[in-house]
Homo-oligomer: A and B are copies of this chain.
Amino acid sequence: MMKSIVSSKYLACLVGSIILNLLFIINIYVGGQWKLSWSLGAAIEAETVAAIYCSGHGRAYLDGLVVVGNKPVCDCNTCFTGPDCSQFIPHCTANADGLESVEELLRDLSMHSYSGDPLFLEPFWMQHLASSALVVAGWHQMSYTYGGKSFVSKELAKVVRKVHASVGNAVTQNRFIIFGAGSTQVLSAAVFALSPENTSSPAKVVTSVPYYPIDKQQTQYFSSQKFKYEGDAYRWKNRSDCSSTNMIEIVTSPNNPDGQLKKAIFHGPNVKTIYDHAYYWPHFTPIPAPSDEDVMVFTLSKLTGHAGTRLGWAVIKDETVFNRMMIHMQMNSMGVSKDAQLRAFKLLNAVLEEGTGIFDFAYQTMKSRWERLVQTVSLSNRFSLQENNPQYCTFYNKVRQLSPAYAWLKCEREEDKDCYAVLEAANIIGRQGNLFGAEDGYVRLSLVRTQDDFDILIKRLHKLITEENGDKTM
């Protein structure tokens, strides 16, 4: 009797234990993880680095700076320091600068921080880790070309078309798509491609004030017998000698610095127009209608926030222009990094998977930043912001305001001619108006950087304005 009880207990334990065996077997052989072989080590390495704690004010990178041993250190946001980025630097400067001019670059090379990095989108990707993770084999895409045919990834072009279709910001059917190392290289390729082959007088490249400084600097840098930068488009409007010469107008719309939806000034048989649509996404502007221009330039940087990937594209109507831009890409860099194209492929697929996710996140972030900025500036009669007329947005099916990437701040006082200096005195670094062809009464402030950068900018602005108002309470 005694024994039978014991043995039945054994039996119960045995059954339980066997069930547990089965559960483990199922977990291991149906769980999928057993499949991993060559990628396992790299995956563990990447997740280990990604897990390094940086207090929410930084992040550690796989190829990040290594100080001791081989563990990368935290890459901290501006104004934060320490091994885990937990220490705030009290009197640090609010960096609301961008990254555009040569002078800037040389100055910044020796400075701690700069750049109009669209890091406001970083939290979105930190919230969507699985859909945006990428695993690359060592032998992946070693060739110069795809299928021995082209520098352009057909599959990436497909995804780009899908994204434009889902947003409704550009017509891509029966259009050619070319990729380049960011919109910077694509814009340059377009200028070369649209310039006359053999001509005595180079094409006049113009942009209307306030313009994106890189267009001027880049065109001047590469200027040749083919084309020359001729400054503000308005200067040439209604000049008879232009009707005969070749003109190339670069239209940045929404505009950098002021975020306005711009239209071309020049029209006619001798005029070629390049639309820089880097900011033509719901993040920054209402989408009144899909754009359908001859040459439209976009960039991953202002869509997903991946500025470092250097991946821009052009949507082109004319095949000859497309072919000439392909030649430019070959002459310039023998095509575009396939790693950049693969990364963009993964990220844009993730964008599509998330539905309106990234647009909602980006728009809400920019909207709330603008609300805080407008509220702060409204306390002052010394400063003003660009106008912001609401328009109908076909993406959100509602009337909405602009939420531009940059604030185009104006110092209203007569004595504040040098608005940059006024802000600098308050520990705020912006970008001088004259760089955009405007007066120095204007300063451009970047609003697309990290939340830390934006919070410090608002804090400093608020301090400047309240002190000016004689309110020393804060």
Query: Which residues on A are within 8 Å of B, measured CB to CB?
Result: 3-4, 6-7, 10-11, 13-14, 17-18, 20-21, 24-25, 27-28, 32-33, 35-48, 50, 59, 61-66, 75, 78, 99, 102, 105-106, 108-109, 111-115, 117-119, 121-122, 125-126, 128-150, 153-156, 180-182, 184-185, 188, 214, 217-218, 221-225, 305-311, 323, 326-328, 330-343, 345-347, 350
CB distance from A41 to the nearest CB of B (A): 5
Question: 30 pairs across A/B with beta carbons < 8 Å?
Answer: A10-B10, A28-B28, A36-B44, A38-B129, A39-B43, A42-B134, A43-B135, A46-B136, A63-B141, A105-B330, A109-B326, A112-B149, A113-B148, A119-B142, A125-B139, A126-B139, A132-B137, A133-B135, A134-B136, A138-B350, A142-B308, A143-B307, A145-B308, A181-B337, A184-B331, A218-B332, A224-B225, A308-B339, A310-B338, A339-B343
User: A47 — nearest CB in chain B belongs to which residue?
Assistant: B39
Chain A contact residues, majority secondary structure? helix
Please state the number of chain copies in the assembly: 2
CB distance from A350 to the nearest CB of B (A): 7
**CA distance in complex: A63, B350 (Å):** 14
**CA distance in complex: A155, B60 (Å):** 13
B130/A38 in contact, CB under 8 A: yes
B138/A342 in contact, CB under 8 A: no
**CA distance in complex: A259, B187 (Å):** 37
**Quick one: which of A18, A309, A327, A330 has the most chain B CB within 10 A?**
A330
Checking B125, B143, B221, B222 against A138 with a beta-carbon cut-off of 8 angstroms, the contacting residue is B125
A341/B63 in contact, CB under 8 A: yes
**Quick one: which of A17, A44, A135, A343 has the most chain B CB within 10 A?**
A135
Known: A10-B7, A38-B129. Contact between A106 and B327, CB under 8 A?
A: yes
CB distance from A233 to the nearest CB of B (A): 21
User: A76 — nearest CB in chain B belongs to which residue?
Assistant: B147
A156/B63 in contact, CB under 8 A: yes
**CA distance in complex: A335, B28 (Å):** 45
CB distance from A176 to the nearest CB of B (A): 12
**CA distance in complex: A231, B174 (Å):** 42
**CA distance in complex: A141, B141 (Å):** 21
Residues of B within 8 A of A330 (CB): 102, 105
**Quick one: which of A21, A27, A153 has the most chain B CB within 10 A?**
A21
